[in-house]
Amino acid sequence: MPSLIQSSLAILALSSSALGAYSIDKAFKFDVHSHVVPPIYKEALIKAKYPVDAATGLVFTDGFPVPDWTLANHIATMNTNGVNYSTISISAPGANFYAGQKNKMLTLVRSLNDAMASYTTQYPTRIGAMCILPLPYIEASIAEIVYCLDTLKFDGVGLYTNADGTYLGDRALDPVFDLLNARGATVFVHPSKPCSGSVSLGYPDPMIEYPFESVRAMENLLLTGQRSQYSNMSIIFPHGGGALPYLATRIAGLASLPFMGGLSVPDSLNQFKGYLFDTASSTSVVQLIAMKQFFGSVSGIVTGTDFPYVPQAQAAAGLASTKANGQFTDDEMGSINNANAFRVFPKVAAKLGFAIV
């Protein structure tokens, strides 16, 4: 029986382009937001004294259980959900728990990147990777970017909203952004625990703090001018952009006041609209319609599942309901399923033999 990727390739229609390019089937699903939990990562979390549930053996980070994961199950779940290609990354907290222990952080980060590379080597047409960086160590992070993009041939770079309290937008990160911008890299930003632990009220941070972490990062990128300076890189924020579609005009309005810098409201909103938002945990009617209205189209929406942190049943239901809940046309679903992702991951398209037209 042919594999899912072979079946998808078989239904691609040859276009009339003089280049002989292929038009990708609208049902081809490119998941920009999935995670892996290599054994070395779970071991590191346990050594770092993250709590372990005695009954299940699950480790808890940011008040949330780190799920059991295997590569075989990852591929099987992709097949079940009709996902053709996934970019993998390490979810929060990443290696942030080693902040202040540089050697340990560098060793763990390199081991995680090498582990992800081994997965992409085993399934090159199904999986790509977004590297983890040892931030806030700048020079080491620059070296890791070069290693991951040039040697490991990763699809892009993974960042967190903050690294031990250093938020995206902090000008200390400019050297990293210099390199990413020069490379025209695609970056996936995952929320991390807020630098102030008191705001979660004792509940799991992913419940509401993660969505607001994305807002904090985008707000800081705006107000410090870092995003406007480095606009040649593509940046994906998960979970429908968090609360940004609902707060964008409020932030832009306040940022236009003289004491906040007097930024142009249209320019601020256009900067926000320059990001991409994925659909992980964001497939309800109100979330999907809000994203479409925020962008003015579906051009900024990409598919995300957040597997395995979002359970399979929930991820499958979200994928199945996206079209109806968003009131999307077939063409719009083609953009959300794959075209928008391929636009910012052109090397993936080339690797899969697709010429985007």
Q: Characterize 32-55 residue by residue with b for buried, 16 or more Cβ atoms within 10 angstroms of its Cβ, and e for exposed.
A: bbbbbbbeebbebbeebebebeee
pLDDT at 342 over 60: yes
* pLDDT above 70 as % of the chain: 92
What does the pLDDT average to over 157-176?
Answer: 97
pLDDT at 343 over 70: yes
Per-residue pLDDT, 203: 84
The two tokens of residue 142 are 């620059």
CA-to-CA distance for 59 and 39, rounded, in angstroms?
12
**Average model confidence (pLDDT) across the chain:** 92
Q: Is 109 left (phi over 0), alpha (psi -120 to 50) or beta?
A: alpha
Summarize pLDDT for 275-334 with one digit per residue, the tens.
999 999 999 999 999 999 999 999 999 999 999 999 899 999 999 999 999 999 999 999
CA-to-CA distance for 72 and 67, rounded, in angstroms?
15
Summarize pLDDT for 10-41 with one digit per residue, the tens.
334 323 232 334 468 999 999 999 999 999 99
User: Is 40 strand, coil or helix?
Assistant: helix
Which structural domains are found in the chain, ordered by start? 28-351 (3.20.20.140)
What pTM value is reported for the model? 0.92
Per-residue pLDDT, 204: 85
Summarize pLDDT for 84-113 with one digit per residue, the tens.
999 999 999 999 999 899 999 999 999 999
What does the pLDDT average to over 218-233?
Answer: 98
